[in-house]
Amino acid sequence: MTQWMLPSIEKVTKQPTKAALDYYKRFNQPCILTYSDNTITSIFQGTGIAPLQHPLEREFMMLGVPMSQCGHCLSREIEVIYARFDRPLEDARPGEIICAYEVFCEHCNYFTYREYIL
């Protein structure tokens, strides 16, 4: 059984926190890589993709970071609209790995942003 981490930051809002306010118009794909420095930081954004289909889902799950539910109504009817993964080139020390994501809930129309510092 996976031990889930608790987020360092959690924000539940009516507007996106990290994704652009016009994310749905700005992007024409569910999920695209919008920033990468090849090994340290990767940022994905888009109109929304199911958590299990997200490119970072495997890395997040291995670290105990679930992209699983809305922070407002706890619905699992969510789409990931922003995700960031920072990892060092060498062996990570505590506080050097950052997993962050924002989801939109199809059920209640709220946004949930969570950040995990590992």
Digit-coded pLDDT (tens) for 47-71: 999 999 999 998 888 888 888 899 9
* CA distances from residue 29 to 42, 47, 52 in whole angstroms, order as listed: 17, 6, 16
| pLDDT of 72 above 60 | yes
pTM reported for the whole predicted model: 0.89
Angstrom distance (rounded) from CA 103 to CA 101:
7
Q: Where are the domains of the chain?
A: 9-117
What does the pLDDT read at residue 13?
98
Overall average pLDDT of the 28-39 stretch: 88
